[in-house]
Amino acid sequence: MSKTVSTLTCLAVVWAVALSVSSAWACTSILVSKGASADGSVIITYACDGEFHPHLRIMPAADYEPGEMLKIEDWSGNIRGEIEQVEHTYKVVGLMNEHQLAIGESTFGGREDLHNPGAMLHYWDLMRLSLQRAKTAREAITVMTELVAKYGYRSLGESISIADPNEVWFMEIIGPGPDGEGAHWVARRIPEGYISCHANKARIGEFPLDDPDSCLYSDNVISFAIEKGYYDPKSGEPFRFCDAYCPSTPGNQRWGDTRVWSIFRRAAPSRNFSADYHRAVQGAVPYPLWIAPDKKLSAGDVFSLMRDHYEGTDYDLTAGTDSGPYGSPYRYRPLDWSVDGSTCAWERPISTQQTGFSFVSQSRSWLPDPVGGVYWYGVDDTFTTCYVPLYCGITDVPPSYTVGRLQEFSWDSAWWVFNFVANYAQLRYSAMVKDVQDVQGRLEETFFVMQPAVERTAIELNKLDPTMAGRYLTDYSVSRGENVVLQWRELAGHLLTKYNDGFVKNEEGRPQEVGYPETWLRSLLSQHPDRFHVEVTDDSVPASRLVD
């Protein structure tokens, strides 16, 4: 007999809560082929955005009796149905399994009339099940599509990133509508030397119908679109999945394609990508599905791409009156708002305070699986988190990342510690974020420097005793994760004391009156030219002296 089904479904419920809540807020994913990475890694990223408290979990490998069934539960614990269990499932750390297979997603929604609420499987069920049942990206696509063909697809439209040590695939899937069967989907392999990304808007356009090595799709993906009136073959235009199943609107272009544009503009500045498409300028050409970066990307480069508020562009969230006196890039929900009958909207950046967790995965073909797969994991905002290396060969995770709840602050919870620092830093963002980045940079750089030595040791141990190698990697990953949380608690205390009561302490620890940036003061005076003016004579006592 196997591990109990109830234990596994309990873990699935915790995961499903995180993923289901996140879709209301949006997510961002980057895909990097091995030919586009600096060391030959296949890399994907995932920022799971939403107001929830994630718990990092390991789902252990398990064996099952023939004919055993797996209960599929929703995030409230209600059973939606059962599916056939397989004889063996693989261990999963977060969203990477023991064979270096990693999966991320972003919800594009698409046509609401294609939602099939009576079906059994949500996208997070498919992600979990494919990680437990597949060794490669192609196998994961087969697992997911065979499951939805048999049990139905319950979610809205999804873009899914799938990486193994050799390939990275981009899959998009949407339902058939109420009481329909299966799902409509297409999957493209990212060519070697290229990168791609998605951010809550379908991206796959034209695709080849006769190239199974690089493109897979459901049998009726085109005929169904014709039947529903989403595509007219007599138009003379080629069939594009994204146009048929997720038509562009000024809203999804602004909130989705702007993130795509920003990733591409930073990875390939030589291309000088225009802003016209994400601003919904009529006739503007959509961004390509993939591009060649100007230089091959390291894991650290990908960390950087995931940390973005459109700095230095016309959409820079750290600039302008709306960023306040200290250049805060954060705009509180809702993103769209109205004043005096005028409808407006904030920008939606890649980095957002609503991120629950994010990861950057490395899958490396030249290393044994327990060492080759690295799941760089961080909680809260990508801009102010610190990514911790968790190897797919580990058997436990840092305790601080497994505890806590949204309704109650706790210093024992990594998520709450990172949230405390990020939220406090908003009080004087332009100054405090530099302190945060100093600690972030020092820790992540140390991880990168240590990585070759740690992995050499693990490889040698793996030759002698795989169990010992797993124990070694577990000790390293857990201790590094707990040390990061300790460093962030100390950072919280440092920020509280350095930036107390509006003063900023100097290197000697003496509070200094720093005041406000001159550009912001000018903006203030332009709105109230007389309100703050005072007459000052040479022999008068400064007003600030009188109120101390």
Domain boundaries, the chain: 5-308+349-356, 367-499
Q: Is there a contact between 14 and 406 (Cβ–Cβ < 8 Å)?
A: no
The residue type at 418: F
pTM above the 0.85 mark? yes
Confidence band for 77, pLDDT divided at 50, 70 and 90: confident
Q: Is the pLDDT of residue 200 over 80?
A: yes
Q: Tell me how far CA of residue 440 lies from CA of 32, 247, 444, in angstroms.
A: 23, 40, 6
Share of the chain above pLDDT 70, in %: 93
Q: Tell me, what's the pLDDT at 7?
A: 32
Q: Is the pLDDT of residue 20 over 50?
A: no
Contacts of residue 426, Cβ cutoff 8 Å, sequence gap at least 6: 328, 330
Q: Is there a contact between 135 and 99 (Cβ–Cβ < 8 Å)?
A: yes
Measured CA to CA, the distance from residue 127 to residue 165 in angstroms comes to 18
Average pLDDT over residues 485-513: 96
Q: Tell me, what's the pLDDT at 75?
A: 77
Mean pLDDT (the chain) is 93
Residue indicated by tokens 């050409």: 285
CA dihedral defined by 397, 399, 402, 407, rounded to 10 degrees? -160
Measured CA to CA, the distance from residue 422 to residue 419 in angstroms comes to 5
